[in-house]
Amino acid sequence: MSNSPNWITITESNFDHEREALEFVRSRFPSHEPYRAWSNFEFIASDGSINEVDLLVFSPQGFFLIEIKSWPGKVSGDGGTWILDRADGKRRTYDNPIKLTNLKAKKLKSLLERQRAFTGKKGTPFLEPLVFLSAENLTLSLPFDASMGFACAIAQR
């Protein structure tokens, strides 16, 4: 993996698909200020829950908490439920991953707001949840209304 002073890997992922997705982003990530990224870390929220973050990015475009999903196959469904039809014929149903990602973003923002660095005039920046669908062999077939209120990125390799 490339070395960049503005990308900090807290711990390496145990999952090949996650490491590949992170390397995909890192290889395209600007290596200059004000861009910053932190990958694979956990935090304990004020409710005592342990939350895992795949990637946290700070850029001029915003502050993003990114959840990586590598689901090859076809994803369909609606705003609440996603259905993955895999190439092997198996079907799995998932809650829309943006829900959990949004909850993590809110918990992390709450934690950051209590830190001295974020007190004062400017406060804590808005933390946007994103889901990165990183599988190369993915067909996304969600209706428009299922994508409202969240952002989704698909890796183009």
Q: Between these two residues, 154 and 90, which has the higher pLDDT value? A: 90
| Residues whose CB falls within 8 Å of the CB of residue 144, separated by 6 or more in sequence, listed in order | none
User: Is the pLDDT assigned to residue 3 strictly greater than 70?
Assistant: no
User: Which one, of 1, 7, 3, lies nearest residue 24 by Cα?
Assistant: 1
pLDDT at 30: 94
Mean of per-residue pLDDT scores for the chain? 88
Comparing C-alpha atoms, which of 57, 67, 72 is closest to residue 18? 67
pLDDT at 117: 80
pLDDT, tens digit, 9 for 90 and up, residues 63-96: 999 999 998 999 999 888 999 999 899 999 999 9
Supply φ then ψ for residue 16, to 5 degrees.
-55, -45
Query: Any idea which residue has 């933390």 for tokens?
Result: 127
Pairing of β 62-69 and β 127-133: parallel
Domains of the chain: 7-154 (3.40.1350.10)
Task: State how far the Cα of 33 lies from the Cα of 5, in Å rounded to an integer.
Answer: 10
> How much is the pLDDT for 148?
55
